[in-house]
Amino acid sequence: MSGDESVRRRGARYTPPVPDLFQSDEEFHRVQAADAELLYNARFDLGTPAADVLSELIECTPWRSDSVVLWGRTYLQPRLTAWYGDEDARYEYSGLELDPLPWTPRLLAIKASVERAAGSRFNSVLLNYYRNERDSMGMHSDDEPELGAEPVIASLSLGEARTLVFRHRSDRSRKCIRIELGDGSLLLMRGATQSNWKHGIAKERRPCGARVNLTFRRIVRQAAPASDDRGGHGPDDSFVPDAQLHRLPDA
């Protein structure tokens, strides 16, 4: 990506989206990225004020504080999570085994809206709760076997805007892609995106309010037992330079 493919906004550089002819009535724009399909809607219509949905999810979700195993070490994830889905939508990454919570009426309504916009069906959703600027998501690719080849991931953001950074997995000469995920925005990642790019959210130096991110996906088969000591397969929480994970004592 050449230097003129990014623009400066709020003191940071972001990759500008361009209009894209999409199959739904939603206003999606394509983000310029080689070897990836990224479509962004800055104002996704939930049918309910985004602030109300955010408050409900924060208050009513049984949030988990989990540890992940990376390179043989155990770390506490710097955010809270919850996994919902169909009964058989079991998910494994980085030493975690997640059995889905049953869908709530609110999540089913959001899922239906996202499915109409994406033109894809989903059977699960991972909720991430970023409480403040110290919470983050390490660089990773959503390429676990149970997601299938070229998965469609629909990422809905509520609350504080945070910057999602994409880094090419094999060609380090490629410039990073930066997308500011605003309140009520929807990002679609599809095609070869997960095979070619990692993505993550760094900690911020500025004060940040609460943010909840919902990533809808489809589990297509049960995963084999995972021994995920590698970076890039599931959330690895290895964001460089400021992941600052909390290492737990070895058992």
What is the span of the domain harbouring residue 38?
Answer: 3-247
Domain count, the chain: 1
The rounded Cα 173 to chain-centroid distance in angstroms is 24
Per-residue pLDDT of the chain (251 residues; tens, 9 = 90+): 433 333 334 445 666 654 443 444 458 999 988 899 999 999 999 999 999 999 999 999 999 998 877 778 888 899 999 999 999 999 987 778 899 999 999 999 999 999 999 999 999 999 999 999 999 999 999 999 999 999 999 999 999 999 999 999 999 899 999 999 999 999 999 999 999 999 999 999 999 999 999 999 999 965 454 443 333 334 444 333 333 333 333 33
pTM: 0.80
List CB contacts of 33: < 8 A, sequence separation 6 or more: 1, 15, 166, 177, 193, 197
Q: Which CATH number belongs to the domain containing residue 43 in this structure?
A: 2.60.120.590
Q: CA-CA distances (angstroms) from residue 79 to 153, 155, 212? A: 20, 16, 10
Amino acid identity for residue 224 in this structure: A
